[in-house]
Structure 1
Amino acid sequence: MLGKGYVYMIITLLMTTMIGESSMAERIKITVGAEKGDIVGSDNRALQSAVDYVAGLGGGTVNIGAGIYLMKDSLHLRSNVTLIGQGEKTILRKSDGFRSVLATDGDYGQEEITPADPSGFEIGIGVTIADNSSGGFHTTVATIIAQDGDNFVINKPLNADCMVARGAYVQNTFPIISGYYIENSRIENIVIEGNKDKNEYLNGCRGAGIFLYRAKNILMKSCIIREYNGDGISFQQSNDIVVENCISYNNSSLGFHPGSGSQRPIIRNCYSYNNGSDGLFLCWRVKNGLFEGNEIRNNGQFGISIG
């Protein structure tokens, strides 16, 4: 038979554990603003600083204030981070685009490129590298991290040979928000503006206004994606992705693109219209999804396509 003191100790330990778990549920919240906030700035660097700081503490919320944020590279989302904007007052806008052919071949696995015209290229911007034969998943999207004269170092190896003889090129295209190998994150109440008239095209296997690759358990809610030279929302080989109350319109390719091998996607109460290709495109091996309450109209090709 347990004594009173022993029972009291057990109860105390249980209460302490419960209090500790409750405290752990309180995650950091910080704000980014063009004029005021915990982090002040109006471009991707300010937003990325906030996301990385919060992620480094195990996760939390980044509140993005009203304003137009100029994106020279993706906002690279991290696991366990929630992004919350102020609806149509919070706009992430793609910078103007530029492009150059490569002066030398880029070999598979190489992490250096040499544009024939280096003007505009600088450390910290996002770029796409490909040639006329290396589209789709063979396209490389990366960030420039160093420079030596006209040679630029990127943070990812090339996914394919990019040969001058096949029209190899580099251009400053990238997803405006991207998430690679992340889980348990959210994107809410944000406008993505692609500035498509001043940017080159980026295919939906490697980019979109919002793009996920091998992500898990991500919610996109009440976001607007417009004027992107590519897909509005694309997620590839990603599971348990939920898209709710989002609007994808006036993008040059697909409105919504649940991509190769994605399992259990949900797209609910969304709008897809005036996009250049299909309103909703389900790629190969997309399974066990739910698509309900959506309005799809006036798109350039099919309303719904099942690949």
Structure 2
Amino acid sequence: MQRPERLQYTRRGFIGAAAILAGGAFAPPGKASEQPGTMPAATPPPAADEPRWDALSVTVGPQKADLVGSNEKVIQAAVDYIAGWGGGTVRILPGTYRMRNSVSLRSGVRILGSGEDSVLIKEPEVKTRLAEDSTSWQEEVVLADPGGFEVGDGVCLQVIDEWHQGAWFIQRSLVARNGNRFKLNKPLSDDDFTVKGKATIGTLFPLLNVDGVSDVRIENIALDGNRAKQESLYHNWGNILGGIWLNKSNRIQMRKIISRESCADGISAQTSNDVLIEECHCHDNVGFGIHSGTGSQRHTARNNRLEDNYIGYYFCWGVRYGLVENNTILNSSEYGVRLGQKDTDNVVRNNEIRNSGKAGVIFERVGDDPAYSPDRNRLEANRIIDSGGEAGVGVDVMGVTKDAVIERNEIAETRQPLKRIGLRIGARTRDVKLAANRITGFSVNVLDLRKASSKA
């Protein structure tokens, strides 16, 4: 039998062979088979669809559930269990869940209630003064009257602080106890809560706490702040104590939520991006119905009902690229929609805004520095009806607002004209574009103070 010829490999020969092979492997489609010694290119198989998985879920309820109970502890246990396995759904069965602290959500967890039959309600507030000073970075507080306080409670500490030149507060939880001395879940940072500053502690907290997480969904549940039995903080500073508190969280979806009777905001989303709020009903809250908070981007709020709040929809500081559309905003104490400090490139369209206490929509003055004005926002195709008292304003564009577009809106007064103004444009605003608005029923339909200023 003839012995096959032994192949001889040298470094130069190996490199040359590799180059020939590479030339065939990376030839353009349809060309590889035309080259001597190469195989035809394989046709890739069609992409397989990802199957519809039945994700991990656990039920919580007063009875006949995976986890049985009716307070925040059992819901928190369910959330932590689901998060520990990488995510899934916590199903909250019908019942009233009495809350002494927040439920802190985790990334990848979905909260799914049973509509109005699943109610999370705050227990009545307990409050007392501090018996001793608790200063920077301490983790303990001493209560003058500890009656009614329990380990596990969510609390709010308040003080008249000389450093902040006014009221200041911070939110914590009580995690241990020795008589009237309680340990906090984390230090007080650089804040001093002193007897001289009339420091107090009370059981105030958000019902759902969404802090530093992502890819969370909250759906079909009712949140009751029990406003009649809570202290109402100043509407702006109390935003962390409302129905839902988001902070530094991304890709959060909220649908079909009722958030009512809060001592602060219905839904507050601070420094959080890509948030969707859809088909929610926020009503009778001391603060804002929905609060798009500092530095947030790409919030979408659609098909919500916001009524009987201090302000219906509040753009806070530096909110950008938001979309507020197809909402019904009724009976706001001050404004239906408010835009302010550095809120830019937002769109407010196709909303029904009625019976606002001062103005339907305001582009608020925040000083005379153009760097802080609400610029490049669009107000389009809204119905803004019956705004303010005797001297109310439908749409008020104030300060040094720049590049606002106000078009195709119906701005109407169906009561008496009195001293009411349909659209007021401030003297120092710049490049405000008006187009195809229908304004009727006011003492003055359009008051353009830029013209008066230029004549002067």
Q: Do the two structures share a fold, i.e. TM-score over 0.5?
A: yes
Aligned counterpart in structure 2 of residue 237 of structure 1, from 261, 271, 274: 271
Q: Which of 188, 195, 206 is matched with 1:175 structurally? A: 206
2:277 corresponds to 1:247: no
Residue 2 of structure 1: CA displacement?
10
- 2:137 matches 1:109: yes
Q: Residue 142 of structure 1 aligns with which residue?
A: 172
Could you say what secondary structure the match of 2:231 adopts? coil
Using the aligned pairs only, state the percent identity. Answer: 39
Q: Give the 3-state SS of the residue equivalent to 1:45 in structure 2.
A: helix
2:328 matches 1:295: yes
Please tell me the residue identity of whatever aligns with 1:278: I
Q: Please report how far the alpha carbon of residue 49 of structure 1 lies from its aligned counterpart in structure 2 after TM superposition.
A: 0.8
- Pairwise CA distance, 1:304: 0.9
Residue 287 of structure 2 aligns to a residue whose secondary structure is coil
- How far apart in 2 are the matches of 1:135 and 1:34? 46
Tell whether the 8 Å contact from 2:239 to 2:287 is kept in structure 1 after alignment: no
Tell me the SS of whatever aligns to 1:139.
strand
Confirm or deny that 1:162 pairs with 2:162: no
Question: Is 1:86 aligned with 2:117?
Answer: no
Distance 2:165 2:145 in 1: 22
Could you say which residue in structure 2 is the equivalent of 1:127? 155
Displacement of 1:39: 0.5
Give 1:1-307 correspondences, 5 Å limit: 26-133=54-161, 139-159=169-189, 160-202=191-233, 203-275=237-309, 277-307=310-340
Tell me the secondary structure at the aligned position of residue 165 of structure 1.
coil
Classify the secondary structure of the residue corresponding to 2:132: coil
1:267 alignment partner, SS class:
strand
Instruction: Report how far residue 143 of structure 1 moved.
Output: 1.3
TM-score by structure 2 length? 0.61
CA contact 2:131–2:143 (8 Å) conserved in 1: yes
Unaligned runs of 5+ in 2: 1-36, 341-456
The CA distance in 2 between the partners of 1:119 and 1:298, in whole Å, is: 39
* Cα deviation, residue 22, structure 1: 5.2
2:238 & 2:165 partners in 1: Cα distance?
Answer: 10
CA distance in 2, matches of 1:262, 1:138: 23
- TM-superposition CA deviations, 1:250-290 (whole Å, max 9, x none): 11111111111111111111111111x11111001011101
Structure 2 Cα separation of the partners of residues 135 and 265 of structure 1: 33
Whether the 8 Å CA contact 2:159–2:168 is kept in 1: the answer is no
Which 10-residue stretch deviates more, 121-130 or 136-145?
A: 136-145
CA distance in 1, matches of 2:139, 2:231: 22
1:299–1:30 CA distance, 2 compared to 1 (3 A): same
Match of 1:164, SS state, is coil
How many angstroms does 1:142 deviate by?
1.6
Q: Secondary structure at the match of 1:197?
A: helix
Secondary structure at 1:206's aligned position in 2?
helix
For residues 203 and 145 of structure 2, the distance between their equivalents in structure 1, rounded to whole angstroms, comes to: 13
Q: Deviations over 1:35-61 (max 9, x none)?
A: 111001111111111011101111100
Structure 2 CA distance for partners of 1:198 and 1:205, relative to 1, 3 Å: closer
Deviations along 1:194-243, one digit per CA (max 9) or x if unpaired, are 11111112544422111111111000100001111111110111111110
Per-residue deviation at 1:135? 9.8
Equivalent position SS for 2:311: coil
Query: For 2:182 and 2:201, how far apart are their aligned partners in 1?
Result: 11
Correspondence for 2:418: none
Structure showing the higher helix proportion among its residues: 1
| Larger gyration radius, structure 1 or structure 2 | 2
Structure 1 pair 135–206 and aligned structure 2 pair: CA distance change class (3 A): farther
Q: Deviations over 1:135-177 (max 9, x none)?
A: 9996321211111221111112214221221111110000011
